[in-house]
Amino acid sequence: MKPLQIYNSLIRAVEEFVPLTPGVVTFYSCGPTVYLPQHLGNMRAYVFVDTLKRALRFNGYDVRHVMNITDVGHLTSDADAGEDKIEKTARAQGKSPLEVADFYIAQFKRDCAALNIELPSDAPAGDHPAPPQSALCRATGNIDAMIAVITRILANGHGYVTPSGVYFDVEKWRGPGGRGRLARQSLAEQHAGQRLEHSADKKSPHDFALWVLNQPHHLMQWDSPWGRGYPGWHIECSAMSMKYLGETLDIHSGGLDHIPVHHENEIAQSESATGHPFARYFVHNAFLVGMEGAKISKSAGRFPVLADLIAAGINPLAFRMLCLGAKYRSELAFSLESVRAAQSNLDYLNEFARNLNESALASEQDSAWAQEYAERFHQALNHDLNTPQAMAVVLEMVAQAYRLHDQRIWQTLRRFDQMLGLDLAKRLDEVRAGVLPPEVSRLVSEREKARADKNFARSDELRALIEAMDYVVKDTKTGVVVMPRRVAT
């Protein structure tokens, strides 16, 4: 079997993945800024992160994964301009920044659970980790780590302190005419079209803030060796990734929009602090776009969220299926029609799993013909995460099982699903045990309340949502009965 190959943005080519420590992968992914709901474009990125992590595990690696949560320091412009995004929402909603962050973190976790995205465990407060270890870590819980990295940058001569803040000296780091290692752009090219804030005490408009000072109205501030203030956005990822994973990462992921500024700045500040390479593989996902080709983003105004799909009667895992149906480095056009088409394929797989006979489920060994599909699936996966081809192999194998009247492919299909994350085994277990999944139970409860309130329009909407998740609702004299469609028929 060909080893796992991945596109490395550092060299702009697909290459074999080889971790620094045999068998162990250190993986850092840029996480959410929690000031609004995460739109479906954001969620595509997190589905990709989860897919890459599952692919690494599928190839036998022990993955130590860290994802940050930005709850301070990300301004409305990536170029150190504008308001703090968390504080802007807090002021608009009349809440504290902590209340805003906690609310949207909880929503983010619920959306990830609905999409079967496996997040790392929350980092404990006041921890002193021995890297590498997995963690879901908040910026506000790692201020000391950021101050420590900034101190090293200053000691190595790559930063300077002014009354307005601590800045990274980009031109000194790059040298005359230097180009970014990741974006391969000059500073003029990197910031073309941006309005750069040039404080009077900054050496260059290209220098970025490591620590912001003298902002008395900012709601979140901490003491530091340079004065009371708060961190810049870029330093957060460097500090947290190195704290939990070590000074050189195997993989750093993020969206394509992170390449020219955020990730370029991460490399500069991290390597100036440590003297070591920061990340050996940078892996970037492309955007989710509307049917007209425009990138889906919060700045564009109204943006679709997972709740919109659920309200339209679509299983959230159909969106995951849609993401798997496109190469991660290609733009993915979104519409309700495209998600519904993906749900048809998901329903096809679920229906096959639900109708497996006892002998197929009990068999520890699949039919010999399934081995060819297992090899083709793995081959597609290891060729730069070609999930569309891998999904085609899965659907073809199920179709072959129907043609041959041979259901003995369950072990292979279940292993595929450990990679795909479509929860086929979980749904099968729920059917066999007669247990409703949590999301269905919640909708049933909401529908019962709507009926009690005589809100029959809402009751009908909720019934449609339940049936979209492949369950049948029957109102009887003794109460409501909800069962999987296979059992109902």
Shared domain check, 387 and 465: no
Q: Specify the range with the lowest mean pLDDT, choosing from 182-196, 205-219, 376-390.
A: 182-196
User: Can you tell me whether residue 289 is helix, strand or coil?
Assistant: strand
445 lies in which domain range?
A: 438-488
Q: Higher model confidence: residue 35 or residue 48?
A: 48
Could you tell me if residue 446 is inside a domain?
Answer: yes
Could you tell me if residue 433 is inside a domain?
Answer: no
What mean pLDDT do residues 21-39 have? 95
What mean pLDDT do residues 290-302 have? 61
Q: What is the pLDDT of residues 429-486, one digit of tens each?
A: 776 666 777 778 888 888 989 988 999 889 888 888 888 877 888 887 656 777 776 5
- Burial, 452: exposed, middle or buried (Cβ in 10 Å; 0-12, 13-18, 19+)? exposed
**pLDDT value of position 387:** 98
Residues facing residue 26 across a β-bridge: 64
Shared domain check, 111 and 51: yes
Could you tell me if residue 184 is inside a domain?
Answer: yes
Residue 301 · residue 318 · CB < 8 Å: no
Could you tell me if residue 15 is inside a domain?
Answer: no
Shared domain check, 448 and 394: no
**Phi (first) and psi of residue 123, to 5 degrees:** -70, 135
What mean pLDDT do residues 9-19 have? 97
Query: Which CATH number characterizes residue 359's domain?
Result: 1.20.120
Report the alpha-carbon distance of residue 266 to residue 232 in Å, rounded.
11
Shared domain check, 225 and 110: yes
**Nearest-5° Cα angle at 154, 151 to 155:** 85
Shared domain check, 448 and 421: no
Could you tell me if residue 356 is inside a domain?
Answer: yes
Q: What is the pLDDT of residues 111-125, one digit of tens each?
A: 999 999 999 999 887
What mean pLDDT do residues 1-15 have? 94
Shared domain check, 245 and 357: no
What mean pLDDT do residues 235-258 have? 96
Average pLDDT, the chain: 89
Confidence of residue 195 (pLDDT cuts 50, 70, 90): very low
Residue 46 · residue 112 · CB < 8 Å: yes
**pLDDT value of position 475:** 82
Shared domain check, 103 and 51: yes
The two most distant CA atoms of the chain are separated, in Å, by 81
**pLDDT value of position 470:** 76
Instruction: Give the domain-ending residue among 425, 454, 472.
Output: 425
Confidence of residue 219 (pLDDT cuts 50, 70, 90): confident
Asked if residue 11 has pLDDT above 80, the reply is yes
Paired sense of beta strands 5-8 and 479-484, if any: unpaired
Could you tell me if residue 294 is inside a domain?
Answer: no
Q: Higher model confidence: residue 156 or residue 474?
A: 156
Asked if residue 315 has pLDDT above 60, the reply is yes
**pLDDT value of position 302:** 61
Could you tell me if residue 305 is inside a domain?
Answer: no
Asked if residue 190 has pLDDT above 80, the reply is no
Which whole-number Å values give the CA distances from 58 to 162, 296, 308, 324, 420, in the listed order?
50, 31, 32, 16, 10
Q: Specify the range with the lowest mean pLDDT, choosing from 32-46, 110-124, 177-191, 317-331.
A: 177-191
Asked if residue 263 has pLDDT above 70, the reply is yes
What mean pLDDT do residues 354-371 have? 89
Residue 277 amino acid letter:
P
Shared domain check, 443 and 418: no
Paired sense of beta strands 135-138 and 159-162, if any: unpaired
**pLDDT value of position 429:** 78
Instruction: Give the domain-ending residue among 391, 425, 459.
Output: 425
Shared domain check, 412 and 442: no
Query: Which CATH number characterizes residue 62's domain?
Result: 3.40.50.620
Could you tell me if residue 166 is inside a domain?
Answer: yes
Asked if residue 77 has pLDDT above 80, the reply is no
**pLDDT value of position 79:** 52
Shared domain check, 481 and 416: no
Shared domain check, 149 and 121: yes
What mean pLDDT do residues 27-43 have? 94
Shared domain check, 458 and 414: no
Nearest alpha carbon to residue 328 among 29, 35, 1: 29
- Give how many domains the chain has, as a whole number: 3
SS (H, E, C) the chain: CCCCEEEECCCCEEEECCCCECCEEEEEECCCECCCCCCHHHHHHHHHHHHHHHHHHHCCCEEEEEEEEECCCCEEECCCEEEEHHHHHHHHHCCCHHHHHHHHHHHHHHHHHHCCCCCCCECCCCCCCCCCCCEEEEHHHCHHHHHHHHHHHHHCCCEEEECCEEEECHHHHHCCCCCCCCCCCCHHHHCCCCCCCCCCCCCCCCCEEEEEECCCCCCCCECCCCCCEEECHHHHHHHHHHHHHCCCEEEEEEEHHHHHHHHHHHHHHHHHHHCCCCEEEEEEECCEEECCCCECCHHHCCCCCHHHHHHCCCCHHHHHHHHHCCCCCCCEEECHHHHHHHHHHHHHHHHHHHCCCHHHHHCCCCCCCHHHHHHHHHHHHHECCCHHHHHHHHHHHHHHHHHHCCCCCHHHHHHHHHHHCCCHHHHHHHHHHCCCCHHHHHHHHHHHHHHHCCCHHHHHHHHHHHHHCCEEEEEECCEEEEEEHHHHC
